Structure 1
């Protein structure tokens, strides 16, 4: 079955990266063939621009848009220090202040990470920050988070709260029960709670990109492995779930490809597009 695919939007972690954080070894060659057909391969992730740069470089997709923070910030020309912004959706400043205060008051062991543009701010380099730094190969900026959010001078594109999974479950339930109408909460890992603007999702990013490219959504393909990928898997003309995805996620996709440890993304691109 060869689809009429004119745009591919793909998740990164657990999708094009295997369990050792190594890029799908067949994907660069597939992307070269996609370029010949003028089919953009767009990366979409909860990662920051700096966290996506080395992967975009390896795959040679720096000329395509890149959807950071699950679409809260879509940029182009990532290779340039002054990259251009295609779309930007920051969190509500007052809600950011309230969330930070709740974490400090009720869950002091939780690691608070704030992302704005290409910058990552933390209060101190605790064990969770160290782990994330090793994964992304980025050093955070240590600062007074309270003062940073009180100033309201920069857009906060994402809050990442990290602790052990039991603690994060408590935090998520508390924040969801509180009234934060402009924020959405989801787990990207069992112990990673991501918070973005309620209008932000990979689904919204797909809609915006399809519009920018003047494409019908039926001519798009999305690839992902987790619950935050479900909306874009359902929306695309062809939603592809990884074999390593949870059963509930696979049920929401049109097809299931091999796992992230078996080059599932490049195999899906070859099978359904090339």
Structure 2
């Protein structure tokens, strides 16, 4: 094993959205053993950097599902923005289906309403964590605005008209499965679009070249590492391309069952230091 590519949310991060001491030590041990480590996430660069800095870690980052790749010196290696016409089509279909959505760009992440975001996220988290108080969930949801630097905007047409704007990802939410299915089926045949999901009740829209698997291959090639010597760890559908591309694909214990069937190995859950368990298991081999 010469390269480890790990997802963040639901994988390297625990239930408190932090990198545990065990996960930190295991990745540091891998680095000391000569193994390269890269984070591959759907988050923006700044939001991905946040938990790494808190843990005292400094790894290259594949962000926005592979739309942007940064080396350990914060230099952009590669980017794959969405076509603006495709962005307008996503906007139209999401608005027709009353879906809240966010647009991730080279300038900022834009949302039509902070209040609508909080309402949607609280409802989603309330379903996932029924024991939590609504007030606690509101605080957790509000923290995401700080991490993602989300700005409100009321005219997406004007945003997409701007020549200085590049769109790297659009993230849309709905609590209704039939709405998610309808939007996905409407857009899945668009030529310059790939659709994945990173969790409950969302769809993620990227350029077809902006996939974690493609980005991990690009990163591995930069370091002259063959894909057979790559381990990729993830928990959700936006991790599938890198789990399948890697020589050794690892699913988290908390992963969707379909992800587990695609992986070569299933480790412990994210709240059980599953990344550390997998890394130590295979460093020993």
Q: TM-score range by the shorter chain?
A: 0.7 to 0.9
Measure, in 2, the Cα distance between the counterparts of 1:141 and 1:110: 18
1:192-251 deviation per Cα after TM superposition (whole angstroms, max 9, x unaligned)? 110000122111011101101111111111101112212211221211111111222111
**Within 5 Å, which residues of 2 pair with 1:33-48?**
33-48=29-44
Asked whether the 8 Å contact 2:107–2:165 carries over to 1, the reply is no
Q: Which has the higher helix share?
A: 2
Asked whether the 8 Å contact 2:69–2:77 carries over to 1, the reply is yes
Measure, in 1, the Cα distance between the counterparts of 2:99 and 2:54: 33
Runs of 4+ in 1 over 6 A off after TM superposition: none
2:112 corresponds, among 116, 123, 148, to 123
1:165 corresponds, among 152, 170, 176, to 176
1:209 aligns to what SS in structure 2? Answer: helix
Deviates more, 1:180-189 or 1:166-175: 166-175
In the other structure, the counterpart of 2:245 is 235
2:94 aligns to what SS in structure 1? Answer: helix
- Following superposition, the deviation at residue 152 of structure 1 comes to 3.9
1:80-110 deviation per Cα after TM superposition (whole angstroms, max 9, x unaligned)? xxx4211100001111122213333x12x31
1:3-29 deviation per Cα after TM superposition (whole angstroms, max 9, x unaligned)? xx1110001111112233232330111
Asked whether the 8 Å contact 1:14–1:260 carries over to 2, the reply is yes
Alignment CA distance shift 1:136-1:212 (3 Å): farther
Supply the RMSD in Å over aligned alpha carbons: 2.0
**In the comparison of the two structures, how many residue pairs are matched?**
261
Measure, in 2, the Cα distance between the counterparts of 1:157 and 1:65: 18
| TM-score, L = length of structure 1 | 0.88
| TM-score, L = length of structure 2 | 0.85
1:208 aligns to what SS in structure 2? Answer: helix
Structure 1: give runs of 5+ residues left out of the alignment.
none
**Within 5 Å, which residues of 2 pair with 1:1-274?**
5-62=1-58, 64-77=59-72, 83-104=74-95, 106-107=96-97, 109-117=98-106, 119-128=108-117, 131=121, 133-135=142-144, 137-138=146-147, 139-143=149-153, 144-166=155-177, 167-176=179-188, 179-274=189-284
